[in-house]
Chain A
Amino acid sequence: MSSLVDIDNLRVSFRQDDGSFTEAVRGVSLSLGREKLGIVGESGSGKSLTGRALLGVLPPYARMSVERMSFDGLDLTSATPRVRRALRGGRMGMILQDPKFSLNPVMQVGRQIVEAIRIGDRRISGAAARKRALAMLEAVQIREPERVFGLYPHELSGGMGQRVMIAMMLVREPDLLVADEPTSALDVTVRTQVLSILDELVTRRGMGLILISHDLNLVSRFCDRVLVMYAGHVVEDLQASHLHQATHPYTRGLLACLPSIDGPLTPLPTLNRDAGWAAS
């Protein structure tokens, strides 16, 4: 089996006030090689929950069922919490959207990166860990790593905070990285840099990447393959370069409602949702 991740029929549901369950992810299957897979969809489509289920970090009140979920040959459905915990950080990493909520507010960011390094390698010396953290900060295009190392999260801009989080995840060089909207807090120019850092890692280290995003154009430019999710289903699975030849009306609708620099000035087409899309 060559694929890094295999998921078959993943379902995630949440209990409602009246005791019934509503499904947020309804039978998602995917397999990932050492490639860049994009998952796109609107808020509420279940794309983030899919990523979280794979990492094993769903909220405790979520109910999950899956027929098969494996990572590099390891069966995740039967893995103990201890094994899953050992995988996270070291072999599977996750980058979340908002650095404001994901960094420890009372710890210098450099020390947070050092902490990540030392959890992975308990014998590394303090000086060596610091050196690696600084090198990593430099690798994510932070101009004065020495100064930024000593800053607290509230002293960073959104873009810098996001790069610090990416540094913290990449410093352990995981085999799989789930990036949940990693660039939506970033400016377009910084975004390109951050994506090229991720791209280099995938190519150089043979890492698998799942990029979760609502930005169709970004995903089609950056990823190899794209899954389009709607209401908990994968409605379309296509090569990223063929995104503009998508056939599903939802994908076509999403593409059509984007304004473009040189586009017409007539009212933007809006999406008419078909009840049938959610049922498939």
Chain B
Amino acid sequence: MIEIEHLTVRFGPSIAVRDVSLTVRDGESFGLVGESGSGKSTLLRSIMNLNRDWDGRIAINGLDAHATPRKRLAREIQMVFQDPYASLHPRYVVGEQIAEPMRINRMADIERRTVELLELIGLGAKFRFRFPHELSGGQRQRVSIARALALEPKILLLDEPTSALDVSIQAEILNLLNRLRGELGLTFVIVSHDLAVISYMCDRLAVMRNAELVETLTREALRARDIRSDYTRALVAAS
């Protein structure tokens, strides 16, 4: 569970997130939509403590995000980034990428776990010794997901997980994510500019604009067009 209360993020004089409060429940898939610059990625990065400079309160499964050591937090929550080309180490083979977080955390049975993870995300053990440049975009995103799952977190933050991929590959990755959520009982927070993806993937969603939360609505409300703000209505019309 993620609880955010009055979160404000400033970068110098500009405000990237202004007084945002929201709760993501256990086992839920929660979507964040908005234009570029609306603060949705900053919000994710603040939850992960990738930028530490924020005011307000964030609690992840009851742990205070500012006060908890990063290593402890990493076992609760992990992030998958937009660009699988940029988020994998170019000179590590796939097996090492996935094993590294487990090694840092001194987990047991790293080899076996790596193979299990590769099978879980549909690549298989034979991919262990490949470099990222030998993989397609979709395969790389699968590796990023396996790495994020290595520490058995309960929550995954997904920042535009499919926007760098072709639509046919997007379908495969979305199906994979849904299967993993069911099998592992994960909680998702998905950032996307694509309302169709959010409507397909998420039980509830929040719309952001100019650093502020415009509204929060359920999938049913979105589909019934039970929308309060004109901005959300414009977004639906444009997609």
B47 at the interface (CB under 8 A from A): no
Q: Is the interface of B mostly helix, strand, loop or mixed?
A: helix
**Distance of B14 from chain A, by nearest CB (Å):** 12
- In the complex formed, the residue of B with least CB distance to A269 is B171
Q: Is the CB of A189 within 8 A of B199?
A: no
Contact A271/B196 with A187-B36, A188-B239 known, Cβ cut-off 8 Å: no
CB distance B199 to A267 under 8 Å? no
Mask of B26-47 contacts with A, CB within 8 angstroms, 1/0: 0000000001110000000000
Mask, A240-265, CB within 8 Å of B = 1, is 00000000000001100111111101
| Inter-subunit contact A259/B166 (CB<8 Å) | no
Q: Report the Cα distance A158→B172, complex, angstroms.
A: 28
Q: Say whether B35 contacts A257, CB under 8 Å.
A: no
Residues 158-192 of chain A, each 1 if its beta carbon lies under 8 Å from chain B, else 0: 11000000000000000000000000000111111
Is A268 an interface residue when CB atoms closer than 8 A count as contact?
A: yes
B67 at the interface (CB under 8 A from A): no
Q: Does B93 contact A (CB under 8 A)?
A: no
| In the bound complex, CA of A15 to CA of B195 (Å) | 42
Nearest A residue to B165 by beta-carbon distance? A43
**Are A259 and B193 CB-contacts (below 8 A) given A43-B137, A254-B168, A270-B168?**
no
Q: Whole-angstrom distance between the alpha carbons of A67 and B14 in the complex?
A: 57
A170 to B: closest C-beta gap in Å: 22
For A268, list chain B residues within 8 Å (CB). 171, 174-175, 200
Whether B178 and A263, one on each chain, are in contact in the complex, defined by CB atoms closer than 8 angstroms, is: no
CB-nearest residue of chain B to A262: B223
Q: Verify B238–A192 contact, CB threshold 8 A.
A: yes
Across the interface, which residues of B come within 8 angstroms of A159, CB to CB?
36
Chain A interfacial residues counted at CB < 8 A: 29
CA distance A191 to B166 in the complex (A): 19
Is A121 at the interface (CB under 8 A from chain B)? Answer: no
| B167 interface residue per 8 A CB criterion | yes
| Inter-subunit contact B166/A214 (CB<8 Å) | yes
Question: In the complex, which of the residues A43, A187, A216, A259 contacts B35, with contact meaning CB atoms closer than 8 Å?
Answer: A187
Nearest-neighbor residue (CB-CB) of A263 within chain B: B200
Question: Smallest CB–CB gap between B178 and chain A, Å?
Answer: 7
Interface string of B130-169 (1 = CB under 8 A from A): 0000000100000000000000000000000000001110
User: Does chain B have a CB within 8 A of A200?
Assistant: no
Q: What A residues does B197 contact at CB under 8 A? A: 259
Cα A259 to Cα B22 in complex, Å, equals 26
* With contact pairs A214-B166, A269-B171 given, residues A261 and B196 touching in the complex (Cβ less than 8 Å): yes
Chain A: CB-nearest residue to B168: A271
Rounded to whole angstroms, the CA-CA distance of A43 and B164 in the bound complex is 11
Cα distance, A259 to B171, chains bound together (Å): 8
Complex CA gap A270/B179 in Å reads 14
- What's the Cα separation between A271 and B168 when bound, in Å? 6
Nearest opposing residue in chain B for A45, CB measure: B166
On whether A253 and B235 interact (CB within 8 A), knowing A258-B196, A261-B199, the answer reads no
In the complex the two chains form, what is the Cα distance from A270 to B223 in whole Å?
Answer: 24
A157 within 8 A of B: yes
With A188-B235, A261-B195, A262-B223 known to touch, is A267 a contact of B178 (CB < 8 Å)?
yes
Q: Which of B166, B193, B199 lies in contact with A43, CB distance below 8 A?
A: B166
CB-based contact A254/B167 at 8 Å = yes
**B36/A189 in contact, CB under 8 A:** no
Query: Which partner residue on chain A sits nearest B33 by CB separation?
Result: A188
B170 at the interface (CB under 8 A from A): yes
The 8 A CB mask of A17-61 against B (1 = contact, 0 = none) is 000000000000000000000000011000000000000000000
Contacts of A189 in B (CB 8 A): 35, 234-235, 238
The residues of A that contact B175 with a CB separation of less than 8 Å are 267-268, 270
- In the complex, B222 has a CB within 8 A of chain A: yes
Whether the Cβ atoms of B199 and A214 lie closer than 8 Å is no
CB-based nearest A residue for B175? A267
What is the minimal beta-carbon distance from A243 to any residue of chain B, in angstroms? 14
- Nearest residue, chain A, Cβ from B236: A261
- CB B60 to nearest CB in A, in angstroms, measures 27
The 16 sampled A-B contact pairs (Cβ below 8 Å) are A42-B168, A187-B36, A188-B239, A189-B234, A191-B238, A192-B238, A254-B167, A259-B201, A261-B195, A261-B239, A262-B199, A262-B223, A263-B200, A267-B178, A267-B179, A268-B175
Give 14 new A-B contacts, CB below 8 A, not counting A189-B235, A257-B167, A257-B168. Answer: A187-B35, A189-B35, A191-B238, A214-B167, A215-B167, A254-B167, A259-B171, A261-B196, A263-B200, A267-B175, A267-B179, A268-B175, A268-B200, A270-B168
On A, residues with C-beta under 8 Å from B are 42-43, 157-159, 187-192, 214-216, 253-254, 257-263, 265, 267-271
